[in-house]
Amino acid sequence: MYLRWSRLEEDVLPHIQALPNLETLGLFNAYVGKKLCFSRGFIKLKDLVLSSFPVLNSIAIEKGAMPNLQLLSIAYCLELKALPQGIEFLANVERLTLSSVPMQLIESVRGGMDHPKVQHIPEIHLHYERENIWYHKSFSGIHSRKRIKPHKHL
C-alpha cells in the first residue's frame, strides 16, 4: 500500500496498523506532523518506506511493532536528526537505507551515537550530498546475521 502526497493532519498509522496482510507500506508526504509512532501492529509488514516528510523530526518504534520488518528506507526527511527511537527492537531488519537526510543523522549512524543501534543490521546504505557531490556509502553492522563464508580452495 502506498499513500502519496495526501499531507494528512491526522496520523494515519492507527488506522492502518491492524491490516492483517499488509506487507509493504510506502508513505510519501502523507502526513504533516512532527512525530510518527509505530506503537503496535503491522504484524506482516516487511518493507517500510518513509519519504518526503518536511517537518517530521521524530520516529518512535515500540517493542513488538513490525516484528517481521526486513527493509526500512527513510528519504527526504530533512528535520530528522536521529534514527527512529526503538530501531534496535527491529530484530529482522536486513537493510536500512537513509537518503537525503541531515548530515547529523548520517554521521551518527556512521560512527556516532546511533551506530550501536544499527549493529544488528546486515546492510546499511547512506546516500547524501556534500558540496554538490552525491556520495553512497554501504557497510554492515558488526553483529551481522549474513556473514560471508570463506571459499575452500581445492
Cell 556520495 sits on residue: 135
Query: Could you read off the pLDDT of 75-85 as tens digits, one per residue?
Result: 999 999 999 99
Cα–Cα distance between 34 and 91 in angstroms, integer? Answer: 26
Query: Could you read off the pLDDT of 77-129 as tens digits, one per residue?
Result: 999 999 999 999 999 999 999 999 999 999 999 888 888 899 899 999 999 88
Residue 15 in 3-state DSSP? helix
Between strands 24-28 and 2-4, the pairing is parallel
Q: What is the pLDDT of residue 141?
A: 67
Note the pTM of the prediction, 2 decimals.
0.86
Annotated domain spans of the chain: 2-139
- Residue 73's nearest CA partner among 16, 24, 120 is 24
- What is the gyration radius of the CA atoms in the chain, in angstroms? 16
